[in-house]
Chain A
Amino acid sequence: MKLAYWPGCVSRGFTPELHGSMDLVAPKLDLELVQLDRANCCGAGVIAEHNQELADTLNARTFAMAQSVEGAAGMMNICSTCQGAQSECQERLDADGDYRATVNSTLSAESLSYEKSGDWWNKNFLWLLVEEIGLDKLRSKVVRPLEGLRIAPFYGCYIVRPTKRLGMADHPERDQYLEYVIDALGAQPVEYAGARKCCGFPVITMNKTTSLRQAGRHLADAIDAGADCLVTPCPLCHLNLDMQQPEASKYVERDLDVPVLHLPQMVGLALGLEPKALGMNGHVVKTKDVQRKIAELAVA
């Protein structure tokens, strides 16, 4: 499947292991990724906070670039925040023809135009795995079932709310997909309170206490539920859950030491890729216990 691919900013910034692991996993799943090298940041909701038309125009620009990739089935992102911020702009662009025309007139200098179409989509890798690739096909590609690994899903707000905007009328189980994928890979999904709550990242520079209490609490809940690690489709969540984890531990006044995987890393492990190649040595919270468990698993 050929896809227009928007990797986002953070996957090429402070979580390079996300971008790297996606590049390795894509060919294993027969995905041909055409990276949108000229596309801009989605604004992470903050540009929309500043000026909606600016956010909508910048994202319409990305959509227009994706739509002009010949033969692409759609556009894929690897960040819950990109998904949510872009879906918000797309909702407005699709709602009103005059508004869309105004935005497109700004894009016309670059010969770009966003066309509303029921067939065109922008999906996070998580949605793509379940809806376009399919869990059966994913299962058939697994060469190293992640047996015995207890994985706590962490979605990121932007990919689960608001349900109406995120197409959950047509796909009501989108807020269950991480559990489905964990299960399809042979691992055990861990149930805990924080899976669909906020990691706190959006206020890390504005209210560190609120931010790190959130991150710390969810990590602690996952640990108490017996998780070996967490998995997230959102690199911004990863920053607060992994990079800030030692700080978060102070705010919840307890030890936390639980690795956080990116979604393509977890998929890659089951597809037979090695932890090191997937960038698992580039995390702040060491992944060695997970790596040891993986090393004990047989590759078919």
Chain B
Amino acid sequence: MPDYTLKIRRFDPESGQPAYWSEYDVEVDPERSVLQGILDARDKQDGSIGIRCSCRAAICGSCAVKINGKVSLACNTAIGEAADKAGPGNPIVVEPMNNYPVLKDLIVDMDAVHWRKIQRVTPWLLPEGPPPEREHIVPAESMIDITQSMACIQCGACVGACLSLEVDPEFVGPAALAKAYRFVGDPRDGQEEERLRDLAEDPHGLYDCTHCFACIEVCPKDVAPMSQIMRLRRRATSDFGIKDRNNGYGHEKAIVGMIEKWGTLHEAQMPPRSYGDGSMIKGQTEPSAVKALIADLPTALRGFRAGKMTIKKVLHHPKLPGQENVRRIYDEVESKDERLELNMYIVGESGGEEQGAMSEGGLES
């Protein structure tokens, strides 16, 4: 059995001592988990190592930690692969996740961050009207649409990797927003618009996600929280036209509208259109938009001074040759009765190819 070295970050806030690193040599088969290595170290060498775990089968979601810098379930990471990633001669580095207070060593305070955020999104069904006499009857495809967000095991890995939370601890965060979509997308829920409006208006809500893909990368269950956030945004802007105070609506309308008009982005019009719900007129006359534009003025002036912006560039943006084709595509796609969404979670990377099946679950009404 090969030897592996685990380098574990130790910290006991009650001790008054700073964090430190401990190294342990463990003997385990390469296909066994990093968790097994940690438990071996704890059982045979140092009973004081703090690690939370239960099922050891990637279901309970207790053992999310950072392994070689990437958040993963310790029970779901083969120790041999982790050693390969660390590189020859280097220990496997195990740390607690980011964005959480540490309770002890690898154990973080899930209540203080993850569960508090989950509670923020009212994580239960809010049906409208009196309950039906028997069960709710819902179309299968609408449930397939939320299957992905239902796969969450609440391990909090996405929260521990979120780059937006790193600078804004108040961000509602990927796990809670994915959970919000689980109810927004559920046809039995009667508060779809209220939920969306609430999250769109929250400065730390729907539009505080920086689209960095960190949550998608670390999720052990392929929930793709960021994709659920994009679904929430799509419903908020396209289905309910929610004009939020964070310019989320305006930002989408600005980009979508400019490409329809010119084919490429007209960057100089990006701020006013974003601040004005997509409209240039509103973006230069509404008090809140004017205020935001004035705040942007120093940056614009620096752009002019550096020669990045010119009066000509601001006033004139060339249309693509053959722009009418781009407009035709907009017309054809946007005039369809239903938005067509290929659900990769259901179809898989090449699943549809063999079966020649377009997922019905991808059809959003």
Contacts and interface: CB of A to CB of B under 8 A. Distances in A.
A45 B230 CA distance: 9
Contacts of A95: 342, 344, 347-353
Interface residues of A, number: 70
Interface in B339-365: 339-342, 344, 347-353, 356-359
Interface stretch (B47-55, B105-113, B210-218): B210-218
Contacts of B214: 157, 161, 198
Best-buried of A13, A61, A109, A205 by chain B (most CB within 10 Å): A205
Interface in B49-108: none
A110 B323 CA distance: 11
A214 B167 CA distance: 6
Contacts of B274: 205-206
B216 A161 contact: yes
Contacts of B295: 208
Secondary structure of the B side of the interface?
A: helix
Interface in B205-241: 207-214, 216-217, 230, 233-234, 237-238
Interface in A61-95: 61, 84, 91-92, 94-95
Interface stretch (B8-16, B174-182, B188-196, B299-307): B299-307
Contacts, number: 223
Question: Could you tell me the dominant secondary structure of chain A's interface residues?
Answer: helix
Contact of B326 (A58, A161, A203, A247): A58
A13 B265 contact: yes
A238 to B, nearest CB: 10
B153 interface: no
B217 A202 contact: no
Interface of A: 9-10, 12-16, 37-41, 43-54, 56-58, 61, 84, 91-92, 94-99, 102, 106-107, 109-110, 157-158, 161-163, 197-198, 200, 202-203, 205-211, 213-214, 217, 243-244, 246-247, 281-284
Given A14-B309, A91-B344, A96 B353 contact: yes
B212 A157 contact: yes
5 contacts: A54-B330, A61-B325, A109-B328, A197-B163, A207-B207
Contacts of A47: 255-256, 259
B185 interface: no
Contacts of A53: 333, 336, 339-341
A1 B214 CA distance: 35
A201 to B, nearest CB: 8
